Structure 1
Amino acid sequence: MQLTAPATVRRPATRTRDADGMAVASFILGLLGLLVLNVFLGPIALALASVALWRGTARRGRAYLGLGLGVADLLVLVAVMQMDDTVSWSF
């Protein structure tokens, strides 16, 4: 008789892998948000980084960078809105 681990043992590894993907995605979206669509990509980067940190990602540095870049996206948006009196900005 062969003993195998139950399917629930693999679940934390999948959850960590998902959280790692969210951390990387938040970093990439935060970087893109500095250039284009910061009104959308900034909050998405913030949300993904927060969920990744909450789930215990192994890529905590990328999640924190995504969090910081998401905040920077929104700060850039507010600064440009104050200068141009618009809701968005472009090059």
Structure 2
Amino acid sequence: MQLTAPASRRTGIRDTDGMAVASFILGLVGLLVLNVFLGPIAIVLATVALARGTKRRGRAWLGLTLGIADLVVLAAFMQADSTISWSF
């Protein structure tokens, strides 16, 4: 029975590491497209990864920062265009 516990713990850590990397990638892509969707997703994934103790804390923090930056960019372009969305 004890052999399954470390494997499940490793899977949980690997999942949180994946969340940290996914938040970074989604936050980075969200700066260019679909930032209204990708920004909040990046923020949630980074927060969950940090709360669960990911080994990739730097990527999670970058994902969190980029997710917030996505929303700031969206707000700036919405203010400049006076619309709900923005385009190039």
Q: TM-score range by the shorter chain?
A: over 0.9
Partner of 2:66: 69
Q: Alpha-carbon deviation of 1:7?
A: 1.4
Structure 1, unaligned runs of 5 or more: none
Task: State yes or no: 1:80 paired with 2:77.
Answer: yes
Percentage of identical aligned residues: 68
Which deviates the most, 42-51 or 81-90? 81-90
Partner of 1:39: 36
Q: Alpha-carbon deviation of 1:24?
A: 0.3
Q: Alpha-carbon deviation of 1:9?
A: 2.4
Structure 2, unaligned runs of 5 or more: none
Partners of 1:80 and 1:13 lie apart in 2 by: 42
Partners of 1:26 and 1:13 lie apart in 2 by: 20
Which consecutive aligned stretches of 4+ in structure 1 deviate over 6 angstroms post-superposition? Answer: none
- SS of 2:31's equivalent in the other structure is helix
User: What is the root-mean-square deviation in Å for CA atoms of aligned residues?
Assistant: 1.1
Q: How many residues align structurally? A: 88
- Equivalent of residue 56 in structure 1, options 48, 53, 58: 53
- TM-score, normalized by length of structure 1? 0.92
